[in-house]
Amino acid sequence: MSRRIALFWPGDGRDAPNEMALPSITEATRQMETALRKLGKEPYLVEGFLTKPHHAIERLGPIDDPMIGICVHWFYGPHTTEGVVGKDNPLLLASNFSGQWPGLVGLLNTGACLESLGREFSRVWTDAPDWTADDSFMARLEEWCANGRIAYGEEEITYEAPVSTAAEELAGTVAQGFEARRALILMLGDTSMGMINGYFGPRLLSHHGFSEHKIDQAWVIDRGPGIDDARLDDALAFVKEKGVTFHWGEEGAEDFTEDATREQLRDYLTVLDMVMEYKADCLGWQYQLGLLPLRPPSDFSEGLFNSTCRPESNGDTVVCATEADQGNAVPMEMMKRLLQAKGLHQSVMFHDVRWGGEHEGRFLWVLLNSGSCGAYPFSFDPDTLKGVHSYRQPSAYFPVPGGTFAGESLPGEITWSRCYIKDDALWMDIGRGEVLTLPSDKRDAWWEGTTRQWPFMAADLGMGRDTLMAHYMSNHIAVAYGDIFEEMVALSRDMGFRVRILGART
């Protein structure tokens, strides 16, 4: 490998997050430069954050030296991919391991984007204050410097799992439903914020029992004023009566008022009407970035769609994937139908893989997403919205006031999954896990160390931290309470997905 190594800063598409991350990324760059020099390399820095695809094309495209992306905050996949596709120089994504500065989240998303495009890369991460003091990190970095790649063990990965006859039969019945009428995803735009790995399109969906129909997000603005005031009054009365705690007007959120929630309900009803008009089975809601300065956040609306208890409900959830991520919409709809067929509650949660830590000898992930987590995890009562708290989305990112759909997830057995593109085919990752209740002091420290306004789940995903960091193909995950693991394996195979199973306990 070349002695010279280029370091670059993949960035957010917005100036404010990059400015807030500047001290962190400057320190991480210093740490990486020190580590590389210790290994006899000569690092140099590509100038500035890459905040648009053309930055990656223009600044990374001409570089033939090995490259390392410094991952310390959320950033968009194309701000790396567009400068490295079609090239074969060694590429490494290097991340901190912080809940407050979720570089690992950006790494997981961009890694999946690179995988979907067939661009080889490696990953490395550390939670050490001094990167050179982390022997495991340094060994992996040395391996990359020597070979241009890092090989990680697959001890917790398999491609086969025993499936009972009963599970096969139930999955077969659900598969017949998809065959009789393929599932339609109503897409409000494409995936947002550079998550190109989460868009499959008809070319891939058509082989697996799904279709899509795109609706321009401008329709939310165009149709919203036509929502009758009486419907808005009824919807607001409903969410109040069903138990939502609204944190209107609190310190730092003085502009978050009942009127802001009312506008979020306007968007919910507008989209609900479109779901009914197009007889859609599930929903992908982009929201960002075009609607940011125009409408309140979609979080509260999305949380309602993923709840059976919602205004104008037909008794079912409408699976809603935030950021229009088909990699979650697809498994969420499949898991919903399996839960219903097995007599379990149908709610499926959409979460970010945000951060994690040790608790009583187990590694727990903080699953935390600003939208698309329904009410069921907070009370296990499908007929109420108790346990739901709505806080103002942070104003630094969301200029128009609007509330979240937050709460603390209760303990219980879970099944999780995720769909992604690899080698131009759709794969399904599946695993078992458990949600735990943390002691209040640890829960608060972990929650406050991430984003307190968002829904919180502390989950053992059945595998070690390094297995997920080395192999998982997204920053998103679909989670359902109950054991539908065998059924999900069988259904995924019946519907033509390639299956990968992550976890020592599966």
Instruction: Taking residues 109-137, report their average pLDDT.
Output: 97
Q: Is the dihedral of CA 272, 214, 480, 266 positive or negative?
A: negative
Beta bridge partners of 100: none
pLDDT surpasses 60 at 298:
yes
- Residue 189, Ramachandran bin (φ over 0: left; ψ between -120 and 50: alpha; else beta): left
* Per-residue pLDDT tens digits for 368-379: 988 789 999 999
Nearest residue to 210 via CA among 338, 343, 327, 374: 327
Instruction: Taking residues 417-421, report their average pLDDT.
Output: 98
Beta bridge partners of 430: 417, 501
Nearest residue to 188 via CA among 302, 312, 294, 296: 302
The pLDDT of residue 102:
86
pLDDT surpasses 80 at 505:
no
Query: What is the SS3 assignment for 241-282?
Result: HCCCEECCCCCCCCCCCHHHHHHHHHHHHHHHHHHHHCCCCE
Q: Cβ–Cβ contacts within 10 Å for residue 173, how many?
A: 14
The pLDDT of residue 192:
83
Per-residue CA distances from 503 to 406, 417, 463 (Å): 28, 12, 4
* Per-residue pLDDT tens digits for 209-256: 999 999 999 999 999 999 999 999 999 999 999 999 999 999 999 999
* Per-residue pLDDT tens digits for 360-400: 999 999 999 887 899 999 999 999 999 999 999 999 889 99
- Residue 18, Ramachandran bin (φ over 0: left; ψ between -120 and 50: alpha; else beta): alpha
The pLDDT of residue 396:
86
- Burial label, 432 (beta-carbon count in 10 A; 0-12, 13-18, 19+): buried
Average pLDDT, the chain: 96
Binned at pLDDT 50, 70 and 90, residue 189 comes out as: confident
Half-sphere exposure at residue 335, Cβ-oriented, CA atoms within 13 angstroms: 33
Q: Do 4-147 and 165-502 fold alike per CATH? A: no
Beta bridge partners of 157: 502
Q: Confirm if 309 and 382 have CB atoms less than 8 A apart.
A: yes
User: Could you tell me the fold of the domain covering 4-147?
Assistant: Rossmann fold (3.40.50)
pTM for the whole structure:
0.97
Dihedrals phi, psi of 48, to nearest 5 degrees: 75, 165
Per-residue CA distances from 202 to 120, 192, 197, 208, 499 (Å): 25, 18, 14, 10, 20
* Per-residue pLDDT tens digits for 265-281: 999 999 999 999 999 99
Q: Cβ–Cβ contacts within 10 Å for residue 224, how many?
A: 15
The pLDDT of residue 139:
98
The pLDDT of residue 371:
77
Question: Which amino acid makes up residue 170?
Answer: L
Q: Return d(Cα 486, Cα 284) in angstroms, integer.
A: 26
Beta bridge partners of 459: 365, 435
pLDDT surpasses 70 at 506:
no
Domain boundaries, the chain: 4-147, 165-502
pLDDT surpasses 90 at 193:
no
Q: Which CATH number is 165-502's, of 3.40.50.2300, 3.40.275.10, 1.10.1660.10, 3.30.1490.20? A: 3.40.275.10
Instruction: Taking residues 108-120, report their average pLDDT.
Output: 97
Binned at pLDDT 50, 70 and 90, residue 1 comes out as: confident
The pLDDT of residue 187:
97
Q: What angle do CA 282, 176, 163 make, to 5 degrees?
A: 100
